[in-house]
Structures are given as C-alpha cells and as structure tokens.
C-alpha cells in the first residue's frame, strides 16, 4: 500500500512539474509590514507572484471599476483591436463614468480600450462587451471563464464595468493581483495601462477625443507603470497599481481605501526597500554534477528570480532530482526530457520547481504531448537527489 501511495505522489508531483513547466509557489510569510488603511490589500511581486504583504487579501468584496482590467484583457486577446465597433443605445445609456459615446457611431476597439482604462468609461465597457462577446451575457461568460483559467478562485463577474447592478459581482485583493500579474505579461495591456494621455478620432466631428488617465500615481510616483482606479457607493475606493524599480515589478491592490494613493506609494516604497530581486538560478548549464551523462550536460532553460529579504538570502537551498540511467547502460538516443527537476527552498519552504534537461533535449520536450512525456518519464523516475547550491 505504501509503495502505491508513493508512486501516486510521484506521479502527481511530476504532473505538476510538466504541466506548469516552472512553478513559483506562494509564500505568505511577511517581513515587518508597512500597514495600510484599506479594508483589504495585497502587495505582490509581478514576476514570481510572491505575496510580500497582505491584509484580508482573500476577503470577497465589491471591486467597482477595477473590474475593467478583465474587460481590457479580453478585448486585447480577442484579436479584434483593429476592428470598428458600432455603439449601441444600451452602451450610450450606461450609467456612471462615461467617455460620451454616441449611438450609432463607429469607433476603433483599441480606442475603446483606452477610454475604458484611462477614463473608466462604462459606456466603453458595454460597447466592448457587445462587440467581443456578442452580448453582455456572452462577455460575462468569457470573463468568468478567464478568471477560472487564471486561478481567481474567489471571483465572480456579472458585468464588464463593476457597477453595483448585481449582488453577485465580487473579487478579492489577491485575485485582482493575480489578474494584473497575468495582464502585465501582455505588452499591449502594459502600454495602455501606463499611458498618461490618449487621443482618439471622433466620427462625424472635426475634433478628436483626448483622454487623460485618472490614475494619479502615473504623475505622483516616479516608478509607477500603470493600474486602474475604481469607485462606487457600495465598493468605495478601489485601486490596482503597478510599479517597477531596478528590474523588480510590484503589484498593489487596495479595496475600500480612503487614502489609496498614499497607501500604494507606501507599499511600493516598503517593498522596494525590504526585498531584492535575486537570480537564484541562472539559465544554462548546471555545474558540479557528477556522472558522465550529467557532467556539464544538464541545463535549465530559464532563470529563476525571486524577491528575498537580506535574511532570506542566506537561507536559500537548491535540491536536484535526476533520473538515473537504466541498468543495462546508457539511454543511447532516447534521453528522457526532462531529465529531472531542481527544487528551490528558502528556510523550510519550497518556493519553486524547475525542469532540468540534457542539452539539446528541450525541443523534444516541447514537441511531445503531456501524456506521452508522462508515460515515458514516470516509468523511469526512480530518483537520485543531490543537494545543490
């Protein structure tokens, strides 16, 4: 029974390795924190997803217009950014903040996304939803589908703008940071979210529209790179913002925060002062391994960077697990891909896992299907574990 459980555990562990390829694991042990006035808040490292600070970060709350980050993401990913959108009556008469669209006018989807993010246009949100999703309901389905894909476990969307017109419309500070982490991997999103001013032509008029970003941090804070504001009477002030300094990107989210501008600056300053982005594993050949098949031949195909405090830098330990050659000799031309994994620990916590490859076999790994790789590797995964680093 014990061997069966061990084998099952091995298969589950390797499945995660192969599916995710690189797995940063959440760490919720915080250094001394800065404190914020928000009801809920989180500060997350943009690359690794490590939570550097949290306050009620998993509490489900109303989120107001930071909902529009998801709306922007879906619009950008739709492949329709260069299409013209015909504005409906429903979009024009959406209540709240507006970019003053006119019924029947045609406007570029990309310009609508700028109006959505910079001026928080609720009319823009509905126009985007109808064009990308075919209908509001169709778009809301896409929003929740994408939330599940990203891992937003405590989120449910009922509209594309965040107005308080549905009781079942909520998220958490943590989930919104996850969404922003995902969004910031898209160059178009980064550009739009960090734009201070955008000009868009207006059909039927000699003058165009000029939109200035409501996110004051782009002007207040030198390291600010973007974000999204939000407010409704029930949600109060919500804010997502991003900042980057010396190669380290941070994401701050606050919900129901009357002093959000200053709180975000304080969070960023504390994060940059407390943590350094450390290259724990460098891309390339792993040195110091013994055995003819492994020596100067095992490699990582990407680097592993992680935010660490000064104390944590001395607590890093790497562990390498390798598949040994078969008893009858070498693998000849059938080298396993991957050949093993590198597990990274800080103190008693595992913070990440990376696959290892014999040089030249990484391409084979990419071309195989997941289950083909699983079948070949699990059979041979009787491990050699080597402390490293």
SS3 of 267, please? helix
Question: Does 78 participate in catalysis according to the annotation?
Answer: no
Active-site annotation holder among 48, 55, 68, 297 = 68
The catalytic position among 48, 55, 97, 120 is 120
Cα 287 from Cα 229, distance rounded (Å): 48
Tokens of 24: 């940063």
Q: Are 283 and 302 in contact, with CB atoms under 8 Å apart? A: yes
For residue 8, the SS3 value is helix
The residue annotated as part of the active site, out of 48, 55, 65, 241, is 65
353 neighbors 341 (Cβ within 8 angstroms): yes
The answer to whether residue 120 is catalytic is yes
Question: What is the spatial distance between Cα 155 and Cα 202, in angstroms, rounded to a whole number?
Answer: 36
Q: Is 88 a catalytic residue?
A: no
Tokens read off for 246: 């010396």
Comparing CA positions, the residue from 129, 63, 140 lying closest to residue 94 is 129
Helices (H) and strands (E) in the chain, counts: 13, 18
Active site members: 65, 68, 120
């Amino acid at each position: 029974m014990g061997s069966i459980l061990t084998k099952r555990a091995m298969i589950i562990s390797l499945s995660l390795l192969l599916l995710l390829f690189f797995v940063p694991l959440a760490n919720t042990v915080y250094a001394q924190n800065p404190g914020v006035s928000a009801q809920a808040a989180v500060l997350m490292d943009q690359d690794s997803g490590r939570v550097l600070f949290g306050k009620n970060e998993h509490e489900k709350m109303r989120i107001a217009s930071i909902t529009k980050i998801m709306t922007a993401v879906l619009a950008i990913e739709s492949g329709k950014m260069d299409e013209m959108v015909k504005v409906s009556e429903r979009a024009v008469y959406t209540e709240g903040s507006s970019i003053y669209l006119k019924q029947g006018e045609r406007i570029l989807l990309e310009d609508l996304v700028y109006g959505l993010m910079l001026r928080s246009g609720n009319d823009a949100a509905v126009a985007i939803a109808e064009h990308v999703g075919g209908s509001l309901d169709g778009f809301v389905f896409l929003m929740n589908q994408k939330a599940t894909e990203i891992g937003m476990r405590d989120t449910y969307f009922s509209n594309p703008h965040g107005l308080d017109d549905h009781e079942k419309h909520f998220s958490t500070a943590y989930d919104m940071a996850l969404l922003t982490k995902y969004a910031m991997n898209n160059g178009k999103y980064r550009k739009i979210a960090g734009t201070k001013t955008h000009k868009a032509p207006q059909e039927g008029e000699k003058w165009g529209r000029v939109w200035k970003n409501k996110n004051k941090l782009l002007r207040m804070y030198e390291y600010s790179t973007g974000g999204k504001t939000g407010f409704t009477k029930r949600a109060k002030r919500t804010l997502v913002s991003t900042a980057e300094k010396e190669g380290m990107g941070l994401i701050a989210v606050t919900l129901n925060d009357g002093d959000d501008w200053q709180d975000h600056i304080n969070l960023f300053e504390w994060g940059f002062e407390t943590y350094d982005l450390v290259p724990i594993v460098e891309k390339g050949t792993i040195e110091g391994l013994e055995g003819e098949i492994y020596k100067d031949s095992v490699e990582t195909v990407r680097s592993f960077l992680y935010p660490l405090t000064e104390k944590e830098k001395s607590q890093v330990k790497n562990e390498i697990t390798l598949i040994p050659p078969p008893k009858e000799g070498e693998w000849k031309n059938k080298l396993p891909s991957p050949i093993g994994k590198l597990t990274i620990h800080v103190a008693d916590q595992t913070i990440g896992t990376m696959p290892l490859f014999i040089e030249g076999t990484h391409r084979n790994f990419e071309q195989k299907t997941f289950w083909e790789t699983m079948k070949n590797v699990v059979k041979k995964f009787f491990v050699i574990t080597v402390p490293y680093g």
